[in-house]
Amino acid sequence: MLINHAALAALLFASGATLAQTVKISDGALQGGSEQGVEFFKGIPYAQPPVGDLRWRAPQPVKPWGGVLEAKNYGHDCAQQPFPGDAAPLLNAVTSEDCLVLNVWRPASPAEKALPVMVWIHGGGFVNGGASPAVYDGSEFARQGVIFVSLNYRLGRFGFFAHPALQQDALKGNYGLMDQIAALHWVQRHIADFGGDKNNVTVFGESAGGFSVISLLTTPEAKGLFSKAIIQSGSGRQNITPGLSWQQAQNAGVAFAKRWGIEGEGGQALAALRALPADKLVDGLNMATMNRPDYSGPMIDGRIIRGEPQDTYRSGQFARVPIMIGANDQDIGFAPVVTTLREALAPFDDKRYQTVLPLYQAEGNTPQQVAQTLASDRFMVEPARYVASVFSRAGLPAWHYRFAYVADSMRPEWSGAVHASEIPYVFNTVSARYGQQLSGRDRDMARQVHQYWVNFARAGDPNGEQLPRWLPYQAEKDNLMLFPAGGAADSAQVRDPWEKRLNQVAALADEKS
């Protein structure tokens, strides 16, 4: 929206914020806001709205605007069916197909030199999420001298869709990942205008955002767009839907088209699909309903996703950059319903079962709890260690962590750190997550974790003053930084306490690959 300066100034004054300095980029001028030593610029278009004939096309360059663009509020998050109970609820439940915007936070005081840049990719199973949740606010990073960028990318069928009519496109299928790459190109072109260093960009994400970072590390389409990466609960061995080919994804697209009476494989069918209202593409799709035959998710397209990540690593075709990677101690995994320990450990043959049984039964868990722990190990925990070992063997620094801290207010409900629970500590936005229930121990852990992430963005090394020493991963030491249940005072580098059982999971993964 082009700006009315008087109205904007009045609104910002009422909210406690003031006007930021106007920033001019090649697309036009931007007017954001300023509050408590941080300037923010929100809802900045990085591509044309992907609507009409641009639905299911690679993102197209922004058309320059005249005047000054108001950039004090978030743009729409991408079209979706919000997920009840989301740990990072959207600021506004009204979402839109017109959503390819990003946000920038920076220190209000000009720096003497270009500042490091961090680019956040949100999670949500590639069907939910956005940049607007309060726990993703970038102010604390800016206060530490980091230019922070968050972005929206197309989700669900808008972002991941295959159909015979799209077969001949050079870039096809994974439109949400194309959006992320387009946003990284935007950073390369424009972040210097905000005081950022385009040669010191750290891309990081959690869950689907972590899977996205893995994809960015393994595609030549993102070459040179970032210099460091952080993967939070992003697996690492396989894509989110292992082995999903273009043909299989195309079958899902054809099934979706038929649901709305659209037949054929040519331009007429594609035109009809592009004419469908956005709510028909959403069609109730979210993290609770995504396993359905007319939706595919990310697929092997041959350009952006060229295969399973572990195969790409083995071929040596990945970005040579420092990384941080890890998972939570009660991370996500999709376990079958079981009644016996043998069922819980069914992936292991009879001989190996006798070896792994005491490793998983050590804490007296029920069969279902054992099954869930194994599912988490296979989906998130062991793959993080695997990726750390790949980078380490390649002579690249890789810092491995495990997050096990639980907010004091959540201890009656959580026996460990569940999926995504580390995010407000990384962002130091724990007050937005826990409010008046926040404890001093929670704050201490947030300050510590946040500082490690900031240090890594600055210099490619998370270590710093008054922080426990954290060495890069070495397979023979199997070392990681443990952020433990006891709090920041107990954080320490340790040999992986789950080493023996993860060795068995790794052997199982290697046999099946």
Instruction: Outline which parts of the chain fall under CATH 3.40.50.1820.
Output: 20-321, 335-512
- Mean pLDDT over 310-321 rounds to 96
pTM score, whole prediction = 0.96
| 100 CB neighbour count, 10 Å cutoff | 27
- Given this model, what pLDDT does residue 84 score? 84
Residue 90 pLDDT: 93
| Distances from the Cα of 454 to the Cα of 423, 430, 457, angstroms | 14, 16, 5
Q: For residue range 4-15, list pLDDT tens digits in order.
A: 444 444 444 444
Classify 276 as helix, strand or coil: coil
What would the CATH number be for the domain defined by 20-321? 3.40.50.1820
Tokens 């054929």 found at: 264
> Of 129-138, 154-163, 263-272, 364-373, which range is least confident?
364-373
Mean pLDDT value of segment 123-144:
98
Report the alpha-carbon distance of residue 150 to residue 125 in Å, rounded: 17
Q: For residues 460-481, give the mean pLDDT.
A: 98
Nearest 5 degrees, angle CA 429-CA 431-CA 437? 145
Q: What is the mean pLDDT of residues 79-99?
A: 91
Residues 336-360 have pLDDT tens digits of 999 999 999 999 999 999 999 999 9
Residue with tokens 């580390």: 422
A 10 A CB-CB count for 101 gives 24
Which pLDDT belongs to residue 85?
80
Residue 245 is classified by DSSP as: B
According to the 3-state scheme, what is the secondary structure of 77-139?
A: CECCCCCCCCCCCCCCCCCECCCCEEEEEEECCCCCCCEEEEEEECCCCCCCCCCCCHHHCCH
Pairing of strands 492-495, 479-483: antiparallel
Structure tokens at 145: 């001298």
Average pLDDT for residues 418-444, to the nearest whole number?
Answer: 98
Mean pLDDT of the chain: 95
The domain covering 335-512 belongs, at the CATH homologous superfamily level, to: Alpha/Beta hydrolase fold, catalytic domain (3.40.50.1820)
> pLDDT tens, 31-76?
999 999 999 999 999 999 999 999 999 999 999 998 999 999 999 9
Say which residue the tokens 């994974």 belong to.
174
Residue with tokens 């385009």: 198
pLDDT in tens, 98-132: 999 999 999 999 999 999 999 999 999 999 999 99
